Structure 1
Amino acid sequence: MAGRSSDFAPYFGASAVTANDSTVIPTSRALYVGVTGDVTARLAQGQTVTFKAAPVGVLPVQVDKVLSTGTTATNILALY
């Protein structure tokens, strides 16, 4: 994929994420959480998990969906 030299390379893009139970986003390399809270997401391989009290900063998980049900964190960015 253009711009992706390795999983350890800096992120090359970001987009705001609005938590939604049905919206699928391009699979991220990580999420940035701007305001702490719970993040419920579907991982790239299909499992749905909740990260309780996710701190402000980078959450290094590949997800294709951030669900509104169970997500209280805000100002979330998908990092690519």
Structure 2
Amino acid sequence: MHDRFSGSNASLSGPASFGFAIVPQDDDTLSEATRGLYVGQGGDLAVTTIAGADITFKAVPAGSILPVRVQKVFSTGTTAGDILGLV
């Protein structure tokens, strides 16, 4: 497969090139900080940003992509599902 952008540096404003499933949990951080989150099943999303701020996104619609860099997705306070970390 040809990738015309293979010689370009990735930027935070560009599209993600990798994704991984996130299982919300209160104890451990993610294996990798995200560039964004995809929310497949709508609901609330409680996270810790890479700057260390604990915030909750309320009523995130299904199919949303949030351009937020996070290190943790909490199970407590998260009702959204089918969450993917985008990097």
Whether 1:77 aligns to 2:84 is yes
Residue 68 of structure 2 is aligned with which of 53, 61, 71?
A: 61
Equivalents in 2 of 1:27, 1:72: separation in Å? 21
TM-score normalised to the size of structure 1? 0.92
Q: Cα RMSD over matched residues?
A: 1.2
Bigger radius of gyration among the two: 2
Q: 2:15: which partner in 1?
A: 10
- Tell me what 1:49 maps to: 55
Look up the match of 2:41. 35
Task: Point out where structure 1 has 5 or more consecutive residues left out of the alignment.
Answer: none
TM-score norm. by structure 2 comes to: 0.85
Q: Where in structure 2 are there 5+ consecutive unaligned residues?
A: 1-7
Deviation of the 1:8 alpha carbon: 1.7
Partner Cα separation in structure 1 for residue 22 and residue 46 of structure 2: 12
Q: CA deviation at 1:74?
A: 0.2
Task: State how far apart, in whole Å, the 2-side matches of 1:64 and 1:35 are.
Answer: 20
